[in-house]
Amino acid sequence: MFKKFVIAYDHRVDLKYIEKIKEVLTNKQIEVLVFEDDGETNDYPILAENAHKMYLENGADGMILLCGTGIGMNIVANKFNGIRSVLATSEAEAHFARRHEDANCLVFGAGYADDKYEVKLCKRKMGRMIEAFVDGEFEGDRHIRRLNQIKDIENK
């Protein structure tokens, strides 16, 4: 059961998403810490790194990261030992990330477009994915062996 989450986001993220995340988590009695960027850089690797520092310094047990597509934040989050991050696009993915991988970081693409493709995040769907994630319980059993294999790879 999660007790404290760190949230971080880049300049492209509409604050309505941050407010929705806070609402969902506080309704679940989860403390929320928001990493406020100083405005000097909006590079997602630095934002994710600073969020992870806040996570460690404050004894948090979960993170939610947002950027345009979510892809960059997810890649960076998975570089930190002990962080198992998922870029979920459905409630089922968020649910199974908790049950099977004991994921502790949820990433969203909050919106981005070019001349060919668009990423768009529905605030209600995001809320349901967060609920599926925080309500999920790690199954243990055969998944523990796999998580230990991941730890071994991290330590190489």
The CATH homologous superfamily for domain 4-154 is Sugar-phosphate isomerase, RpiB/LacA/LacB (3.40.1400.10)
| Residues marked as catalytic | 100
Question: Could you say which DSSP state residue 45 is in?
Answer: H
| Domain spans in the chain, listed from the N-terminal domain onward | 4-154
Segment (H or E) for 30: none
For residue 147, the Cα-to-chain-centroid distance in whole angstroms is: 18
Confidence of residue 41 (pLDDT cuts 50, 70, 90): low
Sorted by sequence, the CB contacts under 8 Å of residue 138 that are 6+ apart come out as: 98, 99, 102
Q: What is the pLDDT of residues 104-150, one digit of tens each?
A: 999 999 988 999 999 899 999 999 999 999 999 998 888 999 999 98
Q: Which of 124, 107, 100 is nearest to 67 (CA)?
A: 107
pTM given for the model: 0.93
* pLDDT mean over 152-156: 86
Residue-level pLDDT at 36:
80
Q: What would the two tokens of residue 124 be?
A: 């209600």
